[in-house]
Amino acid sequence: MAKSIIIEASENGPYLIKVDGKVMTALCRCGGSKNKPYCDGTHAKIGFKAGRAEVRID
């Protein structure tokens, strides 16, 4: 059973879904991915800028 889940809005990048400290998936938040809802790295090419934040679910 998972001990902790973190949804991290990474700086200038995707939402990272972490379970027990391990990144399980990365979801696009720049709107540019050609493989939504997943991040495909496009955020770096288009110069996406956004701050970092996280939500913990314990």
* Min CB(36)–ligand FES separation in Å: 8
Q: Which of 32, 51, 53, 54 binds ligand FES (CB under 6 A)?
A: 32
Q: Is 39 in the site for ligand FES (CB under 6 A)?
A: yes
The length of the chain is 58
CA dist 39 to 2, 7, 47, 48, 52, Å? 24, 14, 14, 12, 16
Q: Is 40 in the site for ligand FES (CB under 6 A)?
A: yes
Q: Cα separation of 36 and 40, whole Å?
A: 8
Q: Is 12 in the site for ligand FES (CB under 6 A)?
A: no
What is the binding site for ligand FES (CB under 6 A)?
13-14, 28-30, 32-33, 39-43
